[in-house]
Amino acid sequence: MPLQAQTLGQVLGEDLKLHTTLCRREAGEFQRAVKSGQTVVVACTQEKRLFSELAEQTEGAVSPIRFVNIRETAGWSSEAANASPKLAALLAAARLPEPEPVPTVTYKSEGRLLILGPIDQAERAAALMADAMQVTIWAEGPGNAGGAQERRYPVLAGRLQSLTGWLGAFDVSWDASNPIDLDLCTRCNACVAACPEQAIGLDYQIDMSRCSAHRDCVKACDAVGAINFMREPQSQSARFDVVLDLRGAPASPTFTSHALPQGYFRWDGQDLQTLLKLRELVGEFEKPRFFAYKQKLCAHSRNEQIGCNACVDICSAEAISSDKARQQIKVNPNLCVGCGACTTACPTGALTYAYPRPAEQGEKIRTLLSTYQAAGGRDAALLLHSQDKGQALIDELGRGAQLKVMQGVPARVMPVALWHTASVGLELWLSAVAYGARQVLVMLTDEEAPQYKNALMEQMAVAQSLLNGLGYEGVHFELLQVGNAASLDADLQRLSGRAVKAPAGPALAARHAVQAEKRSNLELTLDHLMAQSPVMAAPSRPAALALPAVGSPLGTIVVNASKCTLCMSCVGACPSSALQDNPQQPEIKFIEKNCVQCGLCATTCPEQAITLEPRLSLVPERTQARVLHNSPPYGCVRCGKPFGTVKAIETMLGRLAGHSMFQGPALERLKMCGDCRVVDMFTDENQVRMAGDKPLN
């Protein structure tokens, strides 16, 4: 790699020395460093295990160690000679502290394994797992040759009703409806030979659609008594820790979600890596609780009406559901796989990604971009990729460049590994542009669920509309659907070639820190982008920028004054305090900056008087309360006290005028306040009573 220690040292503020055999002949340098107490950044991930072991063996080693790959990401590239700014940025970001600890989710597994599938295949898989786990087989078909004559493992069969749960807590329920009791069956095959319809397979289950009640099998099994056609079906259940499904994808009943629960594996009988992973799942395990939920910010439900359903719709693990009784969402942390798509789709920030938190992820992005710029880098691009398959493609691309069969990662493109690419969305993409990035590229592989791509494209359309509307020309955001390293190489060269003009960005990079709250961060970023916008400086700037109808978290609402009765249902439903009332007089006020376009106001409105309008207001009044609709108060016809609006009372009178219960004085009382209505009814009753007491002439 063409490394320039002096150049890197000037940017990082250190005297750097290059080592060629630091993990071997020069290991003493590393050992002295880990005794210093300062953070040690090792720019080599290939020998991470060796360096970690060396640190453990070094007496007095107290320094935290960070590892970063600068070889495949920068040094092995056709543009490696120009990659010093990127190298400095990667090294600076690696020095950042580890994310703060978060609550964890615990799984406990005793190794109770359920294998589902044809009995011959299940028994072969069981033979590979029996030394590590307690195996039970669910027989579903005899397979090609049936099972072994020797019964080595417990076998269940019947009609599978449900399979639910996660690692350490898979619940299986079934109806034991087959006439053959597998606990009593000796696998002598007498019933198989005796059945004239060949309705009994070598899984020792009777196909009742083929059986014609000859009952020859019962006679053949007379001594053992394992067959009883008079046995009533019995509902049974059991719990297992892990499940291996050999039935193909997706068999029924089974898990149909894109992201399968921890502890559930589908196996084609070929890839032994699946079995190796399965064998490790005995003991106690922890994972981060990837999300944080603030119910008071949630726009899912108010007044028994559903507004925003974005997180429920996008979750690929089916871990999020609607809790109608409590008017909120419910997230099952055991099913959550940490993709973060729900936090990206959430318009309010009620769901936030917790590991790392938005502020920690934002600080990494800001450090990358500020260091890159300080080192003289230009037209920076971030390549967001998953740390699993995405990282593997980056590594393969780097090796291809080193072998001169690919170009490698361009010098201006900085890869950023994420737990999942769907965990970062619009507000952090825009923050990156505000910090100086000219492009944000999001790499998708076949591991992402289809709904992730749709949601990311919707958010990119909104973000791109914002930037282009503010006068920043070019395409700043792209989704790269990558199948292999060669296609990734082609995409990166297409976007970073010498003839390609980089998109425009703000002249001055933002300096604010990414906020913990999603909306706060979005507003700070928009303020900076608007302050630097050429459109905002123009005398003929528009009052607002129209945004795509789908996926926009910004906008206003329009109230149809001819329909609105000022019942204030919308005010009570609004989760973000965008809609407010006025205690002094009947009117609806609106703060556009707070609106998340969840639609609860429109859903709640009994008069269907509200429509949403996605947009970004460019006037200062977007942060101030403005009146959307008001109406003169209606005064009581008896005492004059206002008790409603003219529109609401006139609407009510119009609807009830033809009703038999509201004629004459009853209709007139609707024009009175509550107090006067009671007085009038009492007075009217007294007059009727007094009239009834008068003597007849």
User: What is the pLDDT, as a whole number, of residue 627?
Assistant: 93
Q: Looking at domain 107-285, which CATH architecture does it have? A: 3-Layer(bba) Sandwich (3.50)
Binning pLDDT at 50, 70 and 90, where does residue 690 land? low
Residue 697 has pLDDT above 60, yes or no: no
Is the pLDDT score of 63 beyond 90?
A: yes
Region 506-521 average pLDDT = 93
Domain boundaries, the chain: 1-67, 71-99+358-505, 107-285, 289-353, 545-630, 635-693
> Comparing 283-297, 329-343, 435-449, 645-659, which segment has the lowest mean pLDDT?
645-659
Mean pLDDT (the chain) is: 90
Please write the tens of the pLDDT for every residue from 117-131: 988 899 999 999 999
**Mean pLDDT to the nearest integer, 369-390:** 95
Strand partners of residue 117 = 139
* % pLDDT > 90, the chain: 64
User: Regarding predicted confidence, which is higher, 114 or 640?
Assistant: 114
CA dihedral sign of residues 149, 152, 158, 163 = negative
- Helices (H), ranges, 160-209: 190-194
Count of Cβ atoms closer than 10 Å to residue 455 Cβ: 22
Please write the tens of the pLDDT for every residue from 159-183.
899 999 999 999 999 988 888 888 7
pTM of the model: 0.86
Neighbours of 280 (CB within 10 A): 10
What b-and-e string marks burial along 465-493, b requiring 16 or more CB atoms within 10 Å of the CB?
bbbbbbbbeeebbbbbebeebeebbebbe
At residue 254 the predicted structure's pLDDT band, cuts being 50, 70 and 90, is confident
Q: What is the mean pLDDT of residues 377-388?
A: 95
Mean pLDDT of 510-535: 94
Indicate if the pLDDT at residue 686 is higher than 70. no
Q: What is the pLDDT of residue 583?
A: 83
> Which is nearest to 573 in space by CA: 256, 178, 291, 306?
306
Query: Which tokens hold the place of 202?
Result: 């070598």
* pLDDT at site 689: 60
Give the end-to-end CA distance of the chain in Å, rounded to a whole number: 123
Q: How confident is the model at residue 695 (pLDDT cuts 50, 70, 90)?
A: low
How large is the greatest C-alpha to C-alpha distance in the chain, in angstroms? 131
- Rounded mean pLDDT, 515-520: 91
Which pLDDT score, from 0 to 100, does residue 696 have?
A: 47
**Is 51 exposed, middle or buried, given 0-12, 13-18 or 19+ CB atoms closer than 10 A?**
buried
Fold of 545-630: Alpha-Beta Plaits (3.30.70)
Q: Do domains 107-285 and 289-353 have the same CATH topology?
A: no
Q: How much is the pLDDT for 651? A: 78
**CATH code assigned to 289-353:** 3.30.70.20
List, edge to edge, every strand of the sheet that includes 477-481.
Answer: 413-418, 381-386, 439-444, 477-481
Instruction: Quote the tokens at residue 235.
Output: 């509902």
| Interatomic CA distance for residues 561 and 592, integer angstroms | 18
What percent of the chain clears pLDDT 70, i.e. is strictly above it? Answer: 97
Q: Is the peptide bond before 253 cis (omega within 30 degrees of 0)?
A: yes
User: pLDDT tier at 539 (50, 70, 90 boundaries)?
Assistant: confident
pLDDT at position 632: 79
Across the range 624-638, mean pLDDT stands at: 87
- pLDDT tens digits, 607-625: 999 999 999 999 999 999 9
Among the listed ranges 4-13, 422-431, 448-457, which one has the minimum average pLDDT value?
4-13
pLDDT at 496: 85
Tell me if the bond preceding 356 is cis, omega within 30° of 0. yes
The SS3 assignment for 395 reads helix
Which tens digit of pLDDT belongs to each residue from 433-478? 999 999 999 999 988 899 999 999 999 999 999 999 999 999 999 9
Contacts of residue 456, Cβ cutoff 8 Å, sequence gap at least 6: 344, 421, 422, 425, 442, 444, 479
Q: Give me the mean pLDDT over the 204-221 stretch.
A: 88
Which residue has tokens 């600890």? Answer: 101
| Residue 682 identity | F
